[in-house]
Amino acid sequence: MKRALFHDDASPRLAIGLMSGTSADGIDAALVEISGCSTDTRVRLLSFLTLPFSDAARARILRVAAGDFGGTEELCLLNFYLGELSADACEAVCAQAGVAPDKVSFVGSHGQTVFHAPDAREYLGRPVRGTLQTGEASVIAERLGCPVVSDFRVRDMAAGGLGAPLVPYTEYLLYRDAQRTVGLQNIGGIGNITVLPKGCSLNDVFAFDTGPGNMVMDALAARLTEGKARFDDGGRLAAQGTVNAGLLAWMMQDPYLSAPPPKTTGREVYGAAYVDALCAHARTLGVSLRDTLSTATRFTAECIREGVERFCSQRPERLIVGGGGSMNPVLLAHIADCLPGCQVLTNEQLGLDSSAKEAVAFAVLANEALYGCANNAPGATGAAHGVVMGKISL
């Protein structure tokens, strides 16, 4: 059933996209001017910022996301706490741009994923899959006084999809190229690639999670600096170490890498338990923590190579790297080395903002939802058909 709040009016609107990823560093907020819908969508970024989580908030989020901590009280309070922080981020990006919050037409909020179970598991005698994002949209709607679209993943999962990756639909709208095959590699906590064959339709879009992005590197950087650093800024720590071939070979035996798409992964696979096992194996090989970080950095690039070589029938001629990992020149050099003959560049080299890309995507997904347009990419998520993702809080 198709219901729309927006109809044929193609006049530009102000919107905010919000994103908080698996790294749980903070809330990204992008203020955009957007007009049209579907392939007529036009977007212009006006302002972007990240509202960092406090160390205490990040630790609590990661503890809840581990899946073995917290009850209903914890989830309830975290949900509303993150809703308030999300509204703070909206007001902050408006202030940075000199725009009154009441001029914003709508907000698209991904929320903070605290659990994602794309593969069915037995629960009370039934196979159940699910996903849970926190950051109460009604709090944002009350503070901003406009519709808020949130909770995107669940509708795709109800249609048989994995609920991820979500951005391929927006990448199709904004990056498709009639002349060449384009790959878009996001490197947040998890890495995900979208392949847009030249002259493609939405049905041709192919995407999947490549494996860990920054998640393992971030955890190792924190261990190496005894908690003083949340991530390897500019790849400086990795640059001081050496990639260990034996440890890398062990990492490449990861069964996720050979699993066919559609597929998605997250902290439930590459969280603290994975890092503990990695460090334990590194010690048996006599590999230092610094060299383990260097090896993990190469591993992220090798995961991308493996995904492209195994599963992409059309190899990208150009790979555009976004997300926090695009700010790591050591990682970018590894990716270029892993994909000879492919032009590897960042959004910045195209005059765009890598850090803002995913937040902008949720403004676009919200815009599609408000027009009543299906906004998933079934070829990426495995859904049985297109659906309108997003719950609307008025």
Query: Percentage of the chain with pLDDT > 90?
Result: 89
Answer yes or no: are the C-beta atoms of 108 and 363 closer than 8 Å. yes
Structure tokens at 373: 């347009």
394, exposed or middle or buried, with CB in 10 Å at 0-12, 13-18, 19+? exposed
Q: Is 21 annotated as a binding residue?
A: yes
Q: Is 27 annotated as a binding residue?
A: yes
Q: How far is CA 261 from its chain centroid?
A: 17
Q: How far is CA 24 from its chain centroid?
A: 11
* Tally of CA atoms within 13 A in the half-sphere of 214 that contains its CB: 29
236 has a pLDDT exceeding 50: yes
Each residue of 104-152: pLDDT tens digit?
999 999 999 999 999 999 999 999 999 999 999 999 999 999 999 999 9
For residue 87, which of 44, 22, 35, 146 has the smallest C-alpha distance? 146
Q: Name the DSSP letter for residue 178.
A: S
For residue 27, which of 45, 47, 50 has the smallest C-alpha distance? 50
| Residue 33 φ then ψ, to 5° | -105, 125
CA distances from 288 to 212, 254, 275 (A): 21, 21, 14
Q: Residue ranges per domain, the chain?
A: 13-169+355-393, 181-316
CA distance 170 to 302: 26
CA distance 152 to 392: 10
Q: Is 218 annotated as a binding residue?
A: no
The one-letter amino acid at 101:
P
Confidence of residue 1 (pLDDT cuts 50, 70, 90): very low
Confidence of residue 2 (pLDDT cuts 50, 70, 90): very low
Supply the pLDDT for residue 8. 65
Q: Among 85-89, 164-168, 246-250, 368-372, whose mean pLDDT is lowest?
A: 164-168
3 has a pLDDT exceeding 70: no
* CATH for the 13-169+355-393 domain, from 3.40.140.10, 1.20.120.1200, 3.40.228.10, 3.30.420.40: 3.30.420.40
Q: Is 307 annotated as a binding residue?
A: no
Supply the pLDDT for residue 68. 83
Looking at per-residue pLDDT, the higher value among 10 and 111 belongs to: 111
Confidence of residue 5 (pLDDT cuts 50, 70, 90): confident
Q: Is 372 annotated as a binding residue?
A: no
Supply the pLDDT for residue 18. 98
3-state secondary structure 146-160: CCEEECCHHHHHHCC
User: Fold for domain 181-316?
Assistant: Nucleotidyltransferase; domain 5 (3.30.420)
Confidence of residue 162 (pLDDT cuts 50, 70, 90): very high
Confidence of residue 272 (pLDDT cuts 50, 70, 90): very high
Are domains 13-169+355-393 and 181-316 of this chain identical in fold? yes
* CA-based torsion, 251, 255, 256, 260: positive or negative: positive
Q: Is 341 annotated as a binding residue?
A: no
- The model's pTM is 0.87
Each residue of 56-76: pLDDT tens digit?
999 999 999 988 888 999 999
Answer yes or no: are the C-beta atoms of 380 and 206 closer than 8 Å. yes
Supply the pLDDT for residue 114. 93
Q: How far is CA 226 from its chain centroid?
A: 27
367 has a pLDDT exceeding 80: yes
Supply the pLDDT for residue 7. 65
Each residue of 190-235: pLDDT tens digit?
999 999 999 999 999 999 999 999 999 999 999 999 999 999 999 9
Structure tokens at 182: 């384009």
Each residue of 323-333: pLDDT tens digit?
889 999 999 99
Confidence of residue 267 (pLDDT cuts 50, 70, 90): confident
Q: Is 23 annotated as a binding residue?
A: yes
Supply the pLDDT for residue 324. 87
Looking at per-residue pLDDT, the higher value among 92 and 116 belongs to: 92
Question: Tokens 């190792």, residue?
Answer: 220
For residue 172, which of 146, 208, 196, 156 has the smallest C-alpha distance? 196
Each residue of 15-52: pLDDT tens digit?
999 999 888 899 999 999 999 999 999 999 999 999 99
42, exposed or middle or buried, with CB in 10 Å at 0-12, 13-18, 19+? middle
Mean pLDDT of 305-331: 95
The one-letter amino acid at 40:
D
- DSSP letters for 259-282: SPSS----HHHHSHHHHHHHHHHH
Mean pLDDT of 280-291: 98
